[in-house]
Structure 1
Amino acid sequence: MAATGSKSVLFVCLGNICRSPIAEAVFRKMATDSGVVDKWVIDSGATSDWNTGSSPDTRGLACLRKHGIETSHRARQVTKDDFMNFEYILCMDENNLSDLNKKAKSVKNATAKIELLGSYDPQNQRIIKDPYYGSDADFENVYEQCLRCCKAFLEKNS
């Protein structure tokens, strides 16, 4: 999957319809605007299989659109191959982290570095809360957090 010399990141949340597709879209736009998108393999996935094949939440899409970002992502579950194909797997909360670390243990050649996306937040908000049961303001908050974290992550990895 990841070409030689390229970098790769997989953003992960519970269902891959709210937080991780927002992070993926934000990071892709940032990498595109910085002229480095061709150096990256960028994707997102879910720890659960609940929403496989679904489009992102309409509130998340509306939030991205408001900031001039489009995405055509379809939800998918994290696979064993992801732990070998991605350099970084960045997730949103402690439950995602625990699920991913558990899954990684069952993969013989797992090489991915599994971290909280929020560990890159200059404002030190380590957890990106699921906005699913929240309001438009909660989606906006996720967007702002993803923006800060992705910027710091990209700067660290360019």
Structure 2
Amino acid sequence: IFYMAKKVILCICLWNICRSPIAEAVFQKMATDNGVVDKWRIDSGATSTYEIGNPPDHRGQACMKRHAVSMRHVARQVTKEDFMTFDHILCMDESNLRDLNKKASSVKNSKAKIELLGSYDPEKQLIIQDPYYGSDKDFETVYEQCVRCCKAFLEQHS
């Protein structure tokens, strides 16, 4: 029997309570809706340790509910193993990118391709801004960017 190897994606932001769990949930729903969810493993994580063990920000959860996207995640920090097991590590801004590249350089068998999720945005919004200190509207913007980027990413990698 031939087993299809899963492609594995890790979405990363600073705290793993706003942007990256939204991206993870959007990816999961899109893959499910497109009937390819069994070909993907999708997770998210943080570059920092601040929020480890916490659920996603309540404003992000409310935003996902409004769009009927289910979200189940507990914040975790990116590990050395992640660089060896994930094919793609997609982060939200330049500071995430710097932190990840620094971490990856200390991992011998790093295979992950580290890039900005926004590099897939057809509207060319490269940076997905942290909505934490913003309003519900900022969470909505993150959601919309993630939808565009995830759709383009899946089209390119399916």
Q: For the residues of structure 1 that align with 2:80 and 2:66, how far apart are their CA atoms? A: 35
Mapping of residues 18-57 of structure 1, within 5 Å: 18-57=18-57
| Alpha-carbon shift at residue 113 of structure 1 (Å) | 0.1
| Alpha-carbon shift at residue 133 of structure 1 (Å) | 0.2
Q: Match of 1:151, as an amino acid? A: K
Paired position in structure 2 for 1:64: 64
Task: Check whether the contact 2:121–2:148 (CA below 8 A) recurs between aligned residues.
Answer: yes
Paired position in structure 1 for 2:74: 74
Mapping of residues 75-154 of structure 1, within 5 Å: 75-154=75-154
Q: For the residues of structure 2 that align with 1:72 and 1:24, how far apart are their CA atoms? A: 10
| Alpha-carbon shift at residue 70 of structure 1 (Å) | 1.4
Q: For the residues of structure 2 that align with 1:82 and 1:55, how far apart are their CA atoms? A: 20
| Alpha-carbon shift at residue 49 of structure 1 (Å) | 0.6
Instruction: Describe the SS at the equivalent of 2:80.
Output: coil
1:61-103 superposed Cα distances (whole Å, 9 cap, x missing partner):
0000000011110000000000000000000000000000000
Task: Check whether the contact 2:4–2:39 (CA below 8 A) recurs between aligned residues.
Answer: no
Q: Match of 1:74, as an amino acid? A: V
User: Structure 1: which 4+ aligned runs deviate by more than 6 Å?
Assistant: none
Q: How many residues align?
A: 156
| Alpha-carbon shift at residue 19 of structure 1 (Å) | 0.1
Q: Structure 1, unaligned stretches of length 5 or more?
A: none
Task: Check whether the contact 2:49–2:77 (CA below 8 A) recurs between aligned residues.
Answer: yes
Q: Match of 1:77, as an amino acid? A: Q
Instruction: Describe the SS at the equivalent of 1:64.
Output: helix
Instruction: Describe the SS at the equivalent of 2:43.
Output: strand
Paired position in structure 1 for 2:157: 157
